[in-house]
């Protein structure tokens, strides 16, 4: 009896919060904690962004509406704290952001959650996190941006980038720049212009169960040291195989490492590890289907299994 009552209470609280949410129908600056929702599509921009958010404890529900900057040189949504005080506990859900400079830009933020965001056709990056920690980007579609898809930069640490589709961006799909201890799991990254994932001075990141199919899937350099596979666990994996382990490494022509490397024992993994660069090795690359690309499953990643992997601590990096 107690559990149904608790569920009912949560539903009532949610309905109450939605009923009392502040409606946003044009360019807006959020300066106070609370619940907000987009009451209409928004075209145009304010002084610093279409929606600028400089408060903590904020929820913005997009209700499926679109923010369009009309080619502005401002972000669609800018969530910002400061070096002295991070913005904290911000959720943004179910919004399309297009034709802005960055789709969503976050600087100096903790506990940010971006869910079901579509960031497309922006003039630079789709989603750009700069000094963002303990945050989540999940179930988002980031495509056809003129920069990169999702960028994690400048001491952005302990974040989860999971179950996103990142495709058709002019530059990279995913970028990791001077950022450590992040998890990138269950993402579909394909048909991006430069690299599927580009790393620079990164360590102790977990990058596994992702579907990479780009002309160039990776750029990994001497100072990068990341984990590219996890112990075998029950699937299905991102490429539809029976077990999870590493990543699928494909190409648009079906001749990537995962397509061409044998799987003689039929366990769903290539018989050889995939050596990216130096100590960056995918020990359990997923086996592709051979002549045709598998269909990505949108797997949510490894969940609790990530906690079994021992993560180190990198040297502190300077801020911008």
Judged by DSSP in three states, 305 sits in helix
Nearest Cα residue to 168 out of 140, 190, 199: 190
Q: pTM, whole model, 2 decimals? A: 0.86
User: Could you state, in chain order, the average pLDDT of each consecutive group of 10 residues for the chain (320 residues)?
Assistant: 53 51 96 97 96 97 96 96 92 98 98 98 98 98 98 97 98 98 98 98 97 96 96 93 95 89 93 96 86 53 37 34
Nearest Cα residue to 226 out of 247, 207, 198, 200: 207
Q: Does domain 2-308 correspond to CATH entry 2.160.20?
A: yes
Determine the pLDDT at residue 84.
86
Measured distance CA(264)–CA(177) in Å, rounded = 37
Determine the pLDDT at residue 253.
82
Determine the pLDDT at residue 303.
43
Say how many CA atoms lie within 13 Å of 76 toward its Cβ.
34
Quick: pLDDT tens for 61-79. Answer: 999 999 999 998 999 999 9
Determine the pLDDT at residue 2.
55
Place of tokens 């923010």: 67
Enumerate the domain spans of the chain: 2-308
Residues in the chain: 320
**What pairing do the DSSP bridges indicate for beta strands 96-98 and 66-68?**
parallel
């Amino acid at each position: 009896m107690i559990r149904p009552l608790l569920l009912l209470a949560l539903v009532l609280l949610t309905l109450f919060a939605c009923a009392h949410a502040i409606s946003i129908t044009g360019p807006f600056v959020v300066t106070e904690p609370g619940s907000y929702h987009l009451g209409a599509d928004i075209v145009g921009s304010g002084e610093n962004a279409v929606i600028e958010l400089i408060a903590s404890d904020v929820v913005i529900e997009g209700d499926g509406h679109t923010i369009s900057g009309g080619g502005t040189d401002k972000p669609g949504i800018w969530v910002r704290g400061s070096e002295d005080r991070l913005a904290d506990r911000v959720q943004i859900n179910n919004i399309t952001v297009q034709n802005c400079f960055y789709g969503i830009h976050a600087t100096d933020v903790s506990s940010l959650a971006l869910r079901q965001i579509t960031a497309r056709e922006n003039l630079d990056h789709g989603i750009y996190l700069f000094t963002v920690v303990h945050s989540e980007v999940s179930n988002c579609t980031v495509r056809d941006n003129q920069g990169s898809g999702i960028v994690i930069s400048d001491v952005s640490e302990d974040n989860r980038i999971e179950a996103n589709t990142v495709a058709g961006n002019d530059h990279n799909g995913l970028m990791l720049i001077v950022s450590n201890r992040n998890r990138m799991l269950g993402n579909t990254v394909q048909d991006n212009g430069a690299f599927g994932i580009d790393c620079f001075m990164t360590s102790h990141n977990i990058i596994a169960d992702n579907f990479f199919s780009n002309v160039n899937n990776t750029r990994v350099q001497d100072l990068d040291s990341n984990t590219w596979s996890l112990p075998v666990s029950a699937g299905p994996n991102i490429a539809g195989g029976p077990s999870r382990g590493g990543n699928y490494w494909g190409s648009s022509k079906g001749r990537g490492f995962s397509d061409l490397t044998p799987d003689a024992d039929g366990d769903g993994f290539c018989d050889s590890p995939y050596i990216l660069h130096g100590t960056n090795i995918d020990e359990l690359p997923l086996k592709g289907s051979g002549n045709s690309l598998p269909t990505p499953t949108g797997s949510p990643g490894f969940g609790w299994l990530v906690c079994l992997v021992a993560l180190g601590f990198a040297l502190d990096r300077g801020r911008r």
